[in-house]
Structure 1
Amino acid sequence: MLINADFSCRASLLPEQHQWVKSPQQGVERVMLDRVGAEKARATSIVRYAPDSHFPHHLHPGGEEILVLSGTFSADDRHYPAGWYLRNPPTSGHQPYSDEGAVIFVKLWQMSADETHHVAIDTKDAKNWQKKGSRDVCELYSDTTEKVSLQRLNAGEVLFTDKIAGGAELLVLEGTLIEAEQTYQRGGWIRLPVDATSEVVAGANGAMVYLKTGHLSQVIGADVEGR
């Protein structure tokens, strides 16, 4: 399965364009944002757990990145309400579920084999935010290839001021972003290729976004295997 699989091209999805697709597990649905592979794939998705739904225990050979958007996401005996950011490194495993229901943003098989540490950050804890220039930033992960953060933009603030050397991906979490006269509300997703230029501007009430940069300079190919 190939969905927005040409990473040299810009890709985007408005929240009103979300199409929920059933997963193999009862009560779990996905909006596929990009995908290279079948059920086991390099994939970026928004995943919705109905109350009392679960996946059986499984491994993530290529790692898994999660941002909890709403509800409470649980794995094994740990519970993560909305706002938690998680990174489960390659070869790790878990049994995910949700008692009350949850919506999460998920990226699979997109980590370096050198990444070995679990990450769990509560982005609603004010101690995890810092002022950087005119905006507030919650740093989530950084290595030589990629940088991941949440960023709060003021009304009319431009997200990128330079060419996007390693590509970028963003998900609108609050407020609105405007690009090329198109408005992206909560749930809007944009992926910009390596060396792109784009004037993404926060709307009248500002915006909060998930932002990943640099990762598209080393995109895994279509022979990916893993869930």
Structure 2
Amino acid sequence: MLNLDRTVRLAINTAAMDWEASPAHGVYRKKLEREGVESGLTTSVVKYDENTAFAPHPHPHGEEIFVLDGVFEDEHGQYPKGSYFRNPPGSSHAPKSPQGCELFVKLNQFQQGDTAQVHIETAKQPWRPGLVDGLSVMPLHSFTTEHTALVRWQPGTHFQPHVHPGGEEIFVLDGVFEDEFGQYPKGTWLRSPPYSKHNPFSEQGCIIFVKTGYMG
């Protein structure tokens, strides 16, 4: 078991972590949350070398992926950098990457009743104005209290202090995200517990992947 206590605030710079081999040749990962050796709740950064394939497998409790770099593929399509997709509980696929890729992956974390199949190429989607000047938002998925989005911060943007009753998770995709607790460069994974609060900003500008409202 790894980092499963969601009452603990975490900030992990994945760029400083070493890659670990997976059961599939040419596929590597950086483990962030893990319930079992090869099962259960999992959050990871995953790398596929060129011309790498993973054995066909099911996802009985769902899979959520954001493509960080390269092109990910399976029998259902191709997913270039910036793609966000959700394979619902009971789905299966045979993933591969002829070009190589890096992914942010969450397994077995769908809420009960969330069966939506989602595929969004964020590079082709519009940004919506955020709640303060300099902030833009791209909604990706919502179900009951859970909300997932990209948020873009122009340099010098400051947000108001706020609380996340259902917790918050962030992966920094570009630039440097900040709050009163520190600075978080590209590749940083943040997890803040339910009812945590902070005062976020970005002096340099950044783009972050954000999930809120999914922790009990």
TM-score when scaled to structure 2? Answer: 0.94
Distance in structure 2 (CA, Å) of the matches to 1:181 and 1:192: 12
- Structure 1 pair 123/201, CA: closer, same or farther in 2 (3 Å)? same
Asked if the contact 1:66–1:104 (Cα under 8 Å) also holds between the matched residues in 2, the reply is yes
SS at match of 1:124: helix
Shift of 1:17: 2.8
Distance across 2 between alignment mates of 1:35 and 1:147: 22
Does 1:108 pair with 2:117?
A: no
Task: Give the counterpart letter for 1:145 in structure 2.
Answer: T
Indicate how the Cα distance of structure 1 residues 85 and 159 shifts in structure 2: closer, same or farther if over 3 A, else same: farther
CA contact (8 A) 2:14 2:30 kept: no
Structure 2 unmatched runs, 5+: none
Per the alignment, residue 10 of structure 1 pairs with 9
Would you identify which runs of 4 or more consecutive aligned residues in structure 1 move more than 4 Å?
A: none
Q: Does the residue aligned with 2:163 lie in a helix, a strand or coil?
A: coil
> Which residue of structure 2 lines up, in the alignment, with residue 149 of structure 1?
149
Query: Contact (CA 8 Å) 1:15, 1:185: kept in 2 or not?
Result: no
1:173·1:187 contact (CA, 8 Å) conserved in 2? yes
Report the aligned-residue RMSD: 1.5
CA distance in 1, matches of 2:173, 2:153: 11
Name the structure 2 match of 1:43. Answer: 42
Look up the SS of the partner of 1:41 in the other structure.
coil
Match of 1:60 in 2: 59
Question: Matched residues in 1 for 2:15 and 2:79: separation?
Answer: 27
C-alpha deviation, 1:181, in angstroms: 5.3
Contact 2:13 2:187 in 1 (8 A): yes
- Relative to the length of structure 1, the TM-score reads 0.89
Matched, 1:174 2:158: no
Q: Deviations over 1:132-177 (max 9, x none)?
A: 3332111000111200000001223345631111000000011101
From the superposition, tell whether residues 181 and 114 of structure 1 become closer, same or farther in structure 2 (CA, over 3 Å): closer
2:204 alignment partner in structure 1: 205
Residue 48 of structure 1 contacts residue 103 of structure 1 at CA under 8 Å; is this kept in 2?
A: yes
Q: Counterparts of 1:88 and 1:105 in 2: how far apart (Å)?
A: 14
Q: 1:47 to 1:16 in 2, by over 3 A?
A: closer
Amino acid at match of 2:178: I
Deviations 1:200-227 (A, max 9, x none): 321x32110000000112xxxxxxxxxx
Question: How many residue pairs are counted as aligned between the two chains?
Answer: 214
In the TM superposition, residue 105 of structure 1 has moved relative to its aligned partner by: 0.3
Distance 2:147 2:76 in 1: 29
Contact 1:62 1:113 in 2 (8 A): no
- Partners of 2:161 and 2:200 within 8 A in 1: no
Is the counterpart of residue 214 in structure 1 residue 213 in structure 2? yes
The answer to which of 79-88 and 170-179 deviates more is 170-179
Distance 1:150 1:54, change over 3 A: same
